[in-house]
Structure 1
Amino acid sequence: MAVERRIYWLRHLVLIAVVIIVLFPMVWLVSTSIRRDQAAFSSNLFSSRVTLQHYRNLLLPERSVGRLILDLQSATYATGDYRGKSQEELKKNVESYLVKFDSLMEESQRMVSNIESGMASIEKDVVSKEKKILLEINEIRINDKELFENRLKQIGTFEEPQMAYAVGRILETTVPSLEGVYPFYVDLLGERAAPITEAMEDYRQKYESTLKYRDETLKALVGLEFENREEVIKSLNSIDKYISLSSVDYSEWRRVEWLRVINRYLREVESSLSETEASVLNQARTNLYDSFKAAGDAWEVILSSNEKVSQELSSLAGEAFGSDYYEYIEVRETLSGIENSIAELKKSLAVSESAVLELEDSFEIAIPTVISETRKLSALIPPFELVVSKGIESSNSISNAKLAGSLDGVLSAMETIDLVNGQLADIKNVEELSSELSELSSKLSWFVDNREVLMKVSGNSEISKGADVINIALSNLSRVLPVLQTSVSDYIEVSKSAKEAKSRLQNLEIEKEKLLDTISSHEKEAKKAEETYAHALEAINIRSAMLHIDREILSMEEARNYVSSLTNLLNSYFKIKASVRYRTLFWYDDFVKASTEARDGTVLLKELISSMKVMKDDLASKIYNYIELRFLGTSITLDDFGKMQETYNTLFQQVNAKYQRASRLISDLIEKPTSYSESYAAELREVDKSLFRANQIWVQKESTYFYFVRWLLNSVIVALAVALISVTVAALAAYPFSRMRFRGRKQGLLALLLVQMFPSIMFMVALYALLQFLGSVIPFLGLNTLGGLIFLYSGGIAFNIWLIKGYYDTISNSLEEAAMIDGATKFQAFTRVILPLARPILAVVAILTFMNIFNEYLIARIILQDMNKWTYAVGLWQFSGRFETSWGPFTAAALIGAVPMVIFFLVLQEYIVGGLTQGGVKE
């Protein structure tokens, strides 16, 4: 019986995708760690420019020149890592640094020699390939012609109005010129461009006249000697800067050259000449000015003619592509204007609505004051009515004046309130304010209505006190009512503006919808017309590019101009990159740039080497004496270090920039070769290595390089110590919970479980204070110590106790009982029977603890301040700066940091599977 073989292709595809996704980060890490350019996010995952320098810098860091200067200074002044060292130790360090300095200078000179000789030999051979390059470019030129002709055949021909309309659109964005492609566009238009043609011809004549009269003026100056002769001649020769076949700047020439130099000095010269000579010079000078001015006017005519013809041609849309297209264009332009108006209205409306909300908020602020004063006045009315009802008149001039002033204020306030309330009558969202103002007005009106009877009893003490209350109320209202009156006026104005804006916006939205419907109805025909228009533009651009395509390219400059003129055309219409199609020329130019950068950088590096050697020799002659003086109690500062650092910063910054640019160009030259460049790949790689090595000799190495190994050892020590402590304590603590029955056992297990619910960072303040206290008693357990960090990490053993306890539960009790029958104690049974059987879970706990502690960052970053005591995770953070990350060293450090974990894992791997799976099922 045949067995059918099933093909699980979908499963295989999923597995392949998963493997790729999982392995990609590792591949990225490796590739980035060996790249010279540190381009972590380059489109090219792999680079041909690889190096192990990042690993060397981390594991065996080399002191560069920049680092040596700083270390020499620190050793001389006994600061930093050199503080506390003896005089002999410092002298030995300085001596070794000076020897290293000399060796780096010699190596730098070798690198310079390699760069110069390598680039010179390649350059000599490359220059000899110019004829071959030109030959290839001319072959491509013939292919370009064939490509363009075939494309023009595909596009086909166009009616005259269509071509004229397309040319008109081009002229709208093209600056007029009597050279280049502009005359070609004008010729395409024929009689339609007659104004432009006439204006161009007129300008050409004026331009030639200007140059002619310039030469006549120069000729008239021959044989004349005067103080500013050279300045005048220079000014006359500079006319080409202000007038050409492509532009003219009459006003600038008149201001800078004519008034300040030519006219000013030549008039002085004329006054000292004979009448005949002065007349000749004056005539030449006057003709020059008049012709230049006429040329400026003629150029303005060209510009205006260009604009006029462009506008006339824009009206050909209907004739060229049909009335529907013309209407389509007009509607699109109208729609664009409406959309802009809608956008502006929405912004204006948003501002108005925001203002309305702010004003409504101000109304809400006024309400408590209005209510408060209403209550005051309301409470005042009954006592006044009581006094009036008694009919006992009592008044005098003082009390009358006081009460009259109060009542006048009441009348004024009531009139203001009634005015405001009348304005609020037609406004929504202010009903509460309007109601409270009405209530206040009614209270005020009582005092106004009863003015006469109140005046008769103004001398009464109750009335007098009441007048004081009225004055206080009026004073409070005087702070609110003017602001309220202004706010109401603004509210009405803003609300009206917002209402009008909404109405206009609604109308514009309706108009927009109508225009969109119109566009939709003409869209099909418009697309066809736009396609025809696009092809017409393409045909014009291709034909303009073919103006000089039949002419043979005879020089590299002509080749560059040719390629430059076709770059946009090839990319826009043929999706061809000029850098790829003309790689022959681009490779040559890139090499020239790389050679120039390398040469300039080498000149600067030679100067830097020479200066540094002189300053080093001068320093070496006195540095030991200064160290001795310092130990004798005389502190002296050497200026040599400042000079060395300043020279280094000034020159190497330039060297580094030029070498970096040269190196990037050489990388492109190697990775993107051409027909004649493959033989140079090996030499270019050697030059690139020399550039890289020269940079490494001089670049300021990061201080993190010199601490990395120490950080790695610190992490290994801490992780191993915590793993050992955790395994030991957890193994002992888990045994009673597994084998013994005692009061509080369940509660203890529950407590261990609850501890895991709270992250240790929650207790960081308490832990910090604890270590601060312990450090004062037991120094090696305090802050900024590895012992203190181990102490904190050792607290997280609850999870491990649960894990080991579960494994103990799977080991049969009979094994211990048999050992105890044979005479073993409980502790001996535990150590000789249980622990050997529990080795799998102990290995798992050790591995998990080691890996967690090795990668822990937050607690270590808080506890450790001394750079020498940092762990690997804290040190790794240093490769990430505020503005950029050193991806090369960062990824190399990440891979090196994985080595201890991998080794630890491999040593204990045989126990992992058994340790994780056992303990989950209880017999």
Structure 2
Amino acid sequence: MRRLIVHFVLIFLIVVILFPTVWVMTTSFRRDEAAFSSELFSSRLTLQNYIDLVVPEKNLPVLVQELHSLISRAKPFSELDPKKARQKIEDDLQRFHRYLQESSSRYIKAEESYRTIDDYLKKNAQTVRDLTVKNLDGLKKVLLEETKGFETNAIDRYSVVLYEYLSKERFDSQIFKVFKEDLQKIVGSEIKSPEEFNAAIGILKERYDDYIGRLKENLNEISAELDQLRKTSSKLKDKVSPIQDQVLKTDLVLKNALLPELENTVEALQNLKNLKDSVRGSSTKRIVPLDDSFFLESLFASSERIEKILQKLEVLVDYTALKKSVERMADLFKELSNIDEANDRSKMLYSDFIKGYQEVQPRIERILNDLDSTLSNLENSAIFLHDANEQLIQIGREMSLLEQEETKLREEIKNLETQLEAHRRLCQLKVFLAELDQRISTTSSITSFGRTDLVRYSALISWLRNFMNSYSLKDEIYSRLRKTVDDLRWIEEYRTFSTRFENVSKNLQEVLGQTNNLLSDFEKSWSYLLDLSYSGVFVRSEHLSRLDDVVRSEFVNKVRSDLAVVMRKAGVLMNLTPFADLKNHFERIDRELYRIDQIWKQKTKHYFLRWVSNSVIISLIVALITTFVCAVAAYPFSRMRFAGRRYGIMAFLLIQMFPGVIFMVAIYNLLNFLGKYVTFLGVDTVGGLIFAYLTNISYNMYLIKGFYDLIPSSLEEAAIVDGATRFQSFYKIVLPLARPILTVVFLLVFIGTFNEYVVARIILQNVQNYTYALGLQSFAVGPYETEWGLFTAAALLGMLPMVILFLSLQRYLVSGLTRGAVKE
């Protein structure tokens, strides 16, 4: 048992680990939507992805563009001599004709297969009808078996469900005929007229209301009342919101503007009060008595206004600091009004006091006016907000009670609905059975396989699928429904296939005709246009421009979308059709149309082989330089004794712990600077990228140093005794013995550099300078969709340099990685 479990786990792990690799390999050969298909393997295979990467084909869009460039003498044909240009145009025209002839011949083959399929299905229309009826009869049998044993003793519940079905039906409706016997059993009498039917519905309604109807009415009333309360609450909140904003603004004005000004005024009044107190201690008197009636009247009026303001502040409890300042002002006014008329008014200092008050009085008047108006508005707003808040609280209480009652009713109705599920399912199946009988009868009358018949079959399948989607249980009925829909699905797919193929047939012939006419006209004039171009005149062929529109636009708009659907449906029908004789014809249509699509398809231009060669060159140079530098630098740390030897290599390792990406800004600026003086070391150059990659030194140096430590130093000493220099002993003795570790370092650096993406993405901009990793990413992100076949094929081809290098050096890999790991 234990071994069995171990084997099972190992098999599972192998499958999980190998699945991505298998998916990549199979996808690179597939022509269907591999990323969205449930099948890992497909019969629709092609090598086109590999051909597009290794030897891209000059199809029609490429030829049209090349002919444009040749006639206009544009790059890369600007330096071509006339003889070679003529020869190249003739070659392109011959290839163009071959492509058009191939498109026509392949379409003829595809049409032959289509006509064969169509004739075959028309001849076997009765077989299609019999297969369909057989499936429907099998479904009917399952339905009858499932509903046969379903008897209900709960007449009240069944009456409720019958009312739901019949309440909106007429006396002579199809639904009534389905449930006529059941309705007659419930009411206990025959139903032969609309009046008797209405009376029976009345009996059902009473049972419906007693069971669940009144509860639903109560629930609707409560829901309507809740909706009304929510609307009222929402409207009230809408009114409250601007007033709250206004209160907040007023609060800011009071606290940030009026309160500081009020405090300054109170301070001024305090100073006046101190001045008044000093009047009694003065001795100098005025010659003429001073008229202070204005002062006394102002004091009286201001005191009254302050009392009113204090009354308003009693209501507004959130303004303690303001209230204290106003109370302080009131106290100061009382103290200022306490004047000894006999002594104080005759003093000269009293005159200064009155003049000081006259200066302060406008400020007092202004601050009291502002306070009075502001507090009046604030008081009205506070009263409104208080009333509104009371209303909202009352509405909230009412809503809470209603929501509790609504929840209770919903739970009760839900429980009752649960008890009705079996009866509803029975009624649903009875209705479906009745309609199924009609569908079987209608299908049995089909004698051909034309357009009208395909529409009738499609309507049948759509009806079955809709019922399957609405059927909630996953039981035997659902399984049979699903099987029936799957068995008949090929008819629906064939309808789409045939409709789209007819569109392709019509539009492709039109596009081919236009292309042949334009090409024929161009052949009559291209020689003169080329002579004119070589005489120094810029020319452009209108025939080629129109031909470019036909190839790039009209074919795409008129043909390609339908062509893609036909190919996809042909691939589906290969597996779905019940007629084995038609499989080869569907496969032939798919194959021929796919080739036509490749001839006319506008493909994304890429430089895959250049990207791979860039990566190979860069990786080889970086690996060679890194291995050489590390091999030389590791030798002193292994054999020589010098200051800093012990901690020097540790310092290198510490620096190496930081990822190179964090230095990219500095490296980019350095390359940008170097590029001004040394062109091949600048940004967007292969040399600059190689320079940026030469950073992984210390780790590899430490690895080689550990290997050097295992080589006996006596070998070098013996060589030195025999007359060899230190350098000769290094490259003639140490390096050959260290070949395994040097190979490991070379291989690891090569693989790491070959797969690196981030640094290359920052430094390289020109698409022709891309490395393999950057180019692979461009395949993964297409303009409209990801081309998974091209992407996976590029991934597999890009692996080859690493695989070849790894296999050729693998004998050194194990010994190089293990030796130096432990001391002997």
Instruction: Give me the TM-score of the superposition, normalised by structure 1.
Output: 0.75
Matches for 1:93-172 after TM superposition, within 5 Å = 93-156=88-151, 162-171=157-166
Choose the corresponding residue for 2:421, options 526, 530, 543: 530
Sequence identity percentage: 29
CA 1:638–1:552: 2 relative to 1, 3 Å: closer
Choose the corresponding residue for 1:539, options 430, 438, 441: 430
Choose the corresponding residue for 2:576, options 657, 665, 672: 672
8 A Cα contact 1:400 1:458, kept in partner? no
Correspondence 1:463 to 2:357: yes
CA shift for structure 1 position 526: 6.4
Q: Which residue of 1 aligns with 2:761?
A: 861
SS in structure 2 at match of 1:44: coil
Correspondence 1:503 to 2:397: yes
CA shift for structure 1 position 128: 0.1
8 A Cα contact 1:178 1:200, kept in partner? no
Correspondence 1:685 to 2:587: yes
Q: Which moved more, 1:794-803 or 1:880-889?
A: 880-889
Correspondence 1:386 to 2:274: yes
CA shift for structure 1 position 119: 0.7
Q: Which amino acid aligns with 1:667?
A: G
CA distance in 2, matches of 1:180, 1:857: 69
CA distance in 2, matches of 1:750, 1:764: 23
Q: Which residue of 2 aligns with 1:643?
A: 546
Q: Which amino acid aligns with 1:780?
A: F
8 A Cα contact 1:753 1:798, kept in partner? yes
Correspondence 1:816 to 2:716: yes
Q: Could you list the per-position Cα deviations for residues 783-804 of structure 1 after superposition, in whole angstroms to 9, with x for gaps in the alignment? A: 1111111111112322222222
Q: Could you list the per-position Cα deviations for residues 257-287 of structure 1 after superposition, in whole angstroms to 9, with x for gaps in the alignment? A: xxxxxxxxxxxxxxxxxxxxxxxxxxxxxxx
CA distance in 2, matches of 1:727, 1:771: 23
SS in structure 2 at match of 1:63: coil
Q: Which amino acid aligns with 1:697?
A: I
CA shift for structure 1 position 515: 5.2
Q: Which residue of 1 aligns with 2:807?
A: 906
SS in structure 2 at match of 1:575: helix
CA distance in 1, matches of 2:71, 2:632: 55
Matches for 1:402-441 after TM superposition, within 5 Å = 419=312, 421-425=313-317, 433-441=318-326
8 A Cα contact 1:39 1:887, kept in partner? yes
Q: Which residue of 2 aligns with 1:26?
A: 21
Choose the corresponding residue for 2:38, options 23, 43, 51: 43
Q: Which residue of 2 aligns with 1:596?
A: 499
Q: Which amino acid aligns with 2:513?
A: S
Equivalent residue pairs, number: 792
CA 1:845–1:575: 2 relative to 1, 3 Å: same
Q: Which amino acid aligns with 1:612?
A: T
Q: Could you list the per-position Cα deviations for residues 23-75 of structure 1 after superposition, in whole angstroms to 9, with x for gaps in the alignment? A: 11112212222221233032222222222211211111113323333343344
Q: Which amino acid aligns with 1:851?
A: I
Q: Which moved more, 1:511-520 or 1:649-658?
A: 511-520
8 A Cα contact 2:161 2:423, kept in partner? no
Q: Which moved more, 1:121-130 or 1:493-502?
A: 493-502
CA 1:559–1:624: 2 relative to 1, 3 Å: closer
SS in structure 1 at match of 2:709: helix
Q: Which residue of 2 aligns with 1:657?
A: 561
Q: Which residue of 2 aligns with 1:887?
A: 788
Q: Which residue of 2 aligns with 1:918?
A: 819
8 A Cα contact 1:734 1:801, kept in partner? yes
Matches for 1:64-79 after TM superposition, within 5 Å = 64-79=59-74
CA distance in 2, matches of 1:581, 1:381: 99
Q: Which residue of 2 aligns with 1:9?
A: 4
Q: Could you list the per-position Cα deviations for residues 719-761 of structure 1 after superposition, in whole angstroms to 9, with x for gaps in the alignment? A: 1111111111111111112222222334432331222232222
Q: Which residue of 2 aligns with 1:756?
A: 656
CA 1:883–1:509: 2 relative to 1, 3 Å: farther
CA distance in 1, matches of 2:596, 2:246: 70
CA distance in 1, matches of 2:354, 2:805: 103
Correspondence 1:697 to 2:613: no
Instruction: Give me the TM-score of the superposition, normalised by structure 2.
Output: 0.83
Correspondence 1:735 to 2:652: no
CA distance in 1, matches of 2:775, 2:62: 19
CA distance in 1, matches of 2:644, 2:23: 53
CA distance in 2, matches of 1:166, 1:805: 87
CA distance in 1, matches of 2:750, 2:535: 50
8 A Cα contact 1:395 1:459, kept in partner? no
Q: Could you list the per-position Cα deviations for residues 272-311 of structure 1 after superposition, in whole angstroms to 9, with x for gaps in the alignment? A: xxxxxxxxxxxxxxxxxxxxxxxxxxxxxxxxx99x9978
Matches for 1:786-825 after TM superposition, within 5 Å = 786-825=686-725
CA distance in 1, matches of 2:243, 2:705: 70
CA distance in 2, matches of 1:198, 1:798: 100
Q: Which moved more, 1:334-343 or 1:771-780?
A: 334-343
8 A Cα contact 1:116 1:599, kept in partner? no
CA distance in 2, matches of 1:417, 1:67: 91
8 A Cα contact 2:169 2:175, kept in partner? no
8 A Cα contact 1:168 1:309, kept in partner? no
Q: Which moved more, 1:444-453 or 1:906-915?
A: 444-453
8 A Cα contact 1:374 1:439, kept in partner? no
Q: Which moved more, 1:652-661 or 1:754-763?
A: 754-763
SS in structure 1 at match of 2:665: helix
CA 1:608–1:913: 2 relative to 1, 3 Å: same
Q: Could you list the per-position Cα deviations for residues 355-403 of structure 1 after superposition, in whole angstroms to 9, with x for gaps in the alignment? A: 99978976885544455334323432322213443559999999969x9
CA shift for structure 1 position 620: 3.9
CA distance in 1, matches of 2:306, 2:103: 92
Q: Could you list the per-position Cα deviations for residues 473-522 of structure 1 after superposition, in whole angstroms to 9, with x for gaps in the alignment? A: 679979986886687567546644553455345435654675588679xx
Q: Which moved more, 1:798-807 or 1:71-80?
A: 71-80
CA distance in 1, matches of 2:589, 2:62: 25
CA 1:598–1:371: 2 relative to 1, 3 Å: same
SS in structure 2 at match of 1:29: helix
CA shift for structure 1 position 593: 3.2
Q: Which moved more, 1:50-59 or 1:551-560?
A: 551-560
In the alignment, structure 1 segments of 5+ residues that lack a partner are 1-5, 202-304, 426-432
8 A Cα contact 2:684 2:764, kept in partner? yes
CA shift for structure 1 position 769: 1.8
Q: Which residue of 2 aligns with 1:218?
A: none
SS in structure 2 at match of 1:8: helix
Choose the corresponding residue for 1:849, options 749, 765, 768: 749
8 A Cα contact 1:137 1:582, kept in partner? no
CA shift for structure 1 position 877: 1.9
CA 1:326–1:88: 2 relative to 1, 3 Å: same
CA 1:732–1:608: 2 relative to 1, 3 Å: same
SS in structure 1 at match of 2:56: coil
Choose the corresponding residue for 1:766, options 666, 685, 708: 666
CA 1:157–1:796: 2 relative to 1, 3 Å: same
Q: Which moved more, 1:832-841 or 1:687-696?
A: 832-841
Q: How big is the alpha-carbon RMSD for the aligned residues of Structure 1 and Structure 2?
A: 4.6
CA distance in 1, matches of 2:291, 2:124: 119
CA shift for structure 1 position 849: 1.3
Q: Which residue of 2 aligns with 1:226?
A: none
Correspondence 1:725 to 2:647: no
CA shift for structure 1 position 316: 2.0
CA 1:850–1:108: 2 relative to 1, 3 Å: same
Q: Could you list the per-position Cα deviations for residues 230-261 of structure 1 after superposition, in whole angstroms to 9, with x for gaps in the alignment? A: xxxxxxxxxxxxxxxxxxxxxxxxxxxxxxxx
Choose the corresponding residue for 1:62, options 43, 57, 63: 57
Q: Which amino acid aligns with 2:556?
A: F
Q: Could you list the per-position Cα deviations for residues 649-681 of structure 1 after superposition, in whole angstroms to 9, with x for gaps in the alignment? A: 13432211111111121112111231xx10111
Q: Which residue of 2 aligns with 1:266?
A: none
Q: Which amino acid aligns with 1:891?
A: T
CA 1:342–1:713: 2 relative to 1, 3 Å: farther
